[in-house]
Amino acid sequence: MTDTRRLYQQIADQVRQLMQNGQYPPGARLPAERELAQQLGVSRPSLREALIALEIDGSIEIRMGSGIYATSPSRPLPANRSLGESPMELMQARAVIEGAVIVQAAAAVTPEALSGLTDILVAMRREIDEGRKPMEQDRQFHLAIADCAGNAVLGAVVAQLFDERHSPMSDRMRGRFETPETWRAALNEHEAILACLDARNPLGAQAAMHAHLTASGRRWLES
């Protein structure tokens, strides 16, 4: 029977099995990410997602700068309990969808829309400078671009994918790896996107959006 669970859930169960078999009893330190990924035959980004899932359910403790420690015997996550989509797959999906949406947006964007996008980025910079996370401005920027495309269905898809960031998996990932520096990088990428829209350059805007979302995924999963 085919295992239909998300890949990170399958990998998390592999790690649990090692713990339950006594290889890593409570209190033991697990191998470093690179070594454990090689041992399991999986990619480091996929393993990182699995470790976040294990941290959420209390099976391990991730101590920044120290390592990963087994905490207590754990059971597989019930099939009907979802921690959210894979953050890696989510960012890949957003790159595909928003990369297509922005081509339409670049052809239809108005001076008023460009002014609104500029105002959003001004507010985003202010939030960062004042030590706050500009989540709302980030959302506004991506949804405003989708609105420019003039397709309500695509706009709803963009909003749904963006709001998946509030799932337990993505929320924990953001909490661990988002910093003022990563937000400044995102702001710079937004400004590059806006410059292409202002130039009415659909292919440039598409490339800038794809580069932004790919870089965002890397900042979460490869930092």
Label each residue of the chain as H, E or C: CCCCCCHHHHHHHHHHHHHHCCCCCCCCECCCHHHHHHHHCCCHHHHHHHHHHHHHCCCEEEECCCEEEECCCCCCCCCCCCCCCCHHHHHHHHHHHHHHHHHHHHHHCCHHHHHHHHHHHHHHHHHHHCCCCCHHHHHHHHHHHHHHCCCHHHHHHHHHHHHHHHCHHHHHHHHHHCCHHHHHHHHHHHHHHHHHHHCCCHHHHHHHHHHHHHHHHHHHHCC
Query: Residue 76 has what pLDDT?
Result: 56
Domains and CATH numbers, the chain: 7-70 (1.10.10.10), 87-221 (1.20.120.530)
Q: How far is CA 21 from CA 50, 61, 79, in A?
A: 18, 18, 22
- Minimum mean pLDDT range among 22-36, 103-117, 128-142, 199-213: 22-36
What's the mean per-residue pLDDT of the chain?
90
Q: What integer is the mean pLDDT of 33-60?
A: 92
Confidence of residue 107 (pLDDT cuts 50, 70, 90): very high
- Minimum mean pLDDT range among 19-28, 64-73, 147-156, 202-211: 64-73
Whether this prediction's pTM lies above 0.95 is answered by no
Q: What integer is the mean pLDDT of 34-51?
A: 92
pLDDT tens per residue, range 185-223: 999 999 999 999 999 999 999 999 999 999 998 887 665
Tokens (6 digits) for 185: 């990088």
Query: Residue 100 has what pLDDT?
Result: 97
pLDDT tens per residue, range 143-191: 999 999 999 999 999 999 999 988 998 888 887 788 999 999 999 999 9
201 vs 2: CA distance, rounded Å: 45
